[in-house]
Chains A and B, each alone.
Chain A
């Protein structure tokens, strides 16, 4: 920054605007979530009241706690399943030369970019056929369509960056591909696994279309569906207080995780993006 003062001021003003725009909506949601009654319906730029009633209302309702559990279970299972399949698959894609590898990678990328509505009808039939409609398994099954290609793709780029000579040393030592994965690469890859898993978890946690379509009872809803369909005492009244409180509850853990892992997340996002 060797430029003159006015341009420096302009630069920092731009920075301030960016930060303000990024942070303000969530800040305002937090401020509102602590207001009830008439305070809710006055525009407050600064927190004036600190009332936990909305939080008590949301957490007190059995269905919302149930939704959180559902979401944790579904996202956890989806990510575990995807990582399990992706580790071996990405090794094959990153490390073994075979014909059709490029085409396969492109196909996997294409699947992750799929319009999910295009498989909705077919998945609906499959979910009905398997008898898992309105159970968490319907979501775990359907979320695989985006978590699996994503994890495969990102792990492949991470795996390609591991040094070739370490693998060759292991081959000379007599390690089979399975041993190379489990005893040499996995211990080196765990940071990548955490990143990929976290990104996939966020994706599964936020999903809405499948969760909306494949659940019918309130107790089976995931968090996004629960928030979207949260209704008040009467049809006309939108319970903004509880909605925003619920929003804050499910977002704060995500933001904390993202901030803790921000460097790794940026690396993971760009590995899935720029390199492919």
Chain B
């Protein structure tokens, strides 16, 4: 067998063969991703520069940046600005989204840290806590929206019942319907649902911290609070940064919770919600496409800034 192969002219080397195989292994995935991600994204951007409508996708005409901003001077000399960038509804949605993302991720990080620290301690029933923690994560967003919608119901909701029972409020609050509380309602549900995810990611980071560091600190008599801020926090910072950006990206694109929990409330309408509303419900397809393109651009800028400023190692190469 060996004599035969030795006589043969040198074929591709092991490295070449493996790289060739890698190419064929990757190709189907790349094609699939191109079809469902890259191509639709490009088409969305293209639609955003046309006047396409739901029924007339193909007789769209090129309108350039008019969906974003157009300036026209009327014969009377008045200058009229139109487009998303001067649309107060859009800026309201931007503000809602940013506010929602910052507050929810802030609370989730804080709560997630607490839960992770608790789960990192050794105590009886730790498995039970982990199981309990996973429940909000496993519940579909729509289901949690409905569940909380019921609990936050103004007339029959248990939240109002509890709050009135302990005397915190003296009249029932229409949590999801009132302009003042709708955002709070959305935040409560989102924080409830995603803190577990945050906690698990932070816990994984905590578990990478060698135990003897804590023991050494304890032998040196360092106060636990100081240990947390001086040792634990710096050590889990990489894991924390990654967890925060994951959640942030998720929060910036939020759609389902808002759509189901507080339908048609201007106080909570986010960028995703308003884009889809224009695109599908109001038959301003191209206008909605422009808004979703803007959302994409905002997120892209945000991610670049975050990675650049925070030097976040998303690929995790340095941890190996």
Chain A residues in contact with chain B, CB under 8 A?
1, 11-12, 14-15, 18-19, 21-23, 25-26, 28-29, 32, 40-43, 45, 85-86, 88-89, 91-93, 96, 98, 102, 104-106, 108-111, 113-126, 128, 141-142, 144-145, 148-149, 152, 157, 160, 171, 176-178, 202, 205-206, 208-209, 212-213, 223-225, 227-228, 240, 243-244, 247, 250-251, 254-255, 257-259, 262, 265-266, 269-270, 273-276
With A209-B255, A266-B200, A274-B242 already in contact, the answer to whether A120 and B146 are too (CB < 8 A) is: no
A1 and B28 form a contact (CB under 8 A): no
> With A1-B123, A19-B132 given, can you name 7 additional A-B contacts, CB distance below 8 Å?
A28-B147, A43-B161, A116-B253, A121-B292, A126-B43, A148-B29, A276-B315
B131 and A15 form a contact (CB under 8 A): no
A28 and B158 form a contact (CB under 8 A): yes
A15 and B295 form a contact (CB under 8 A): no
Chain B residues in contact with chain A, CB under 8 A?
14, 17-19, 21-26, 28-30, 32-33, 35-37, 39-44, 47-48, 57, 114-115, 118, 121-123, 125, 128-148, 150-151, 153, 155-158, 161, 192, 196-197, 200-201, 203-205, 208, 239, 242-243, 246, 249-250, 252-253, 255-256, 259-260, 271-272, 275-276, 279-280, 285, 288-289, 292-293, 295-296, 299, 303, 314-317, 319-320
A120 and B279 form a contact (CB under 8 A): yes
Name the residue on B nearest A19 (C-beta). B132
With A25-B148, A118-B44, A148-B29 already in contact, the answer to whether A251 and B143 are too (CB < 8 A) is: yes
Chain B nearest CB from A98 CB (Å) reads 5
A29 and B147 form a contact (CB under 8 A): yes
Chain A nearest CB from B246 CB (Å) reads 6
Q: How far is A120 from B140 in the complex, measured between Cα atoms in Å?
A: 21
A25 and B32 form a contact (CB under 8 A): no
A15 and B125 form a contact (CB under 8 A): yes
A270 and B201 form a contact (CB under 8 A): yes
Q: How far is A111 from B249 in the complex, measured between Cα atoms in Å?
A: 11
B21 and A176 form a contact (CB under 8 A): yes
Our pick among B57, B146, B253, B256 for the contact of A244 (Cβ within 8 Å) is B146
A-B contact count (CB 8 A): 295
Q: Is the interface of B mostly helix, strand, loop or mixed?
A: helix
A91 and B25 form a contact (CB under 8 A): yes
Name the residue on B nearest A261 (C-beta). B134
Instruction: Write 15 A-B pairs (CB below 8 A) sorted by A numbering.
Output: A1-B123, A15-B123, A23-B135, A91-B22, A111-B33, A117-B272, A119-B44, A121-B279, A208-B256, A224-B143, A243-B150, A247-B146, A257-B138, A259-B134, A273-B243
Chain B residues within 8 Å of A93, by CB: 26
Name the residue on A nearest B271 (C-beta). A117
B21 and A22 form a contact (CB under 8 A): no
With A26-B135, A89-B25 already in contact, the answer to whether A115 and B142 are too (CB < 8 A) is: no
A206 and B132 form a contact (CB under 8 A): no
B242 and A15 form a contact (CB under 8 A): no
Our pick among B21, B115, B151, B243 for the contact of A177 (Cβ within 8 Å) is B21
Chain B residues within 8 Å of A266, by CB: 130, 134, 200, 204
With A115-B253, A244-B150 already in contact, the answer to whether A122 and B122 are too (CB < 8 A) is: no
Top 4 A-B residue pairs of the complex, sorted by shortest distance between their CB atoms: A122-B40, A122-B43, A92-B22, A270-B204
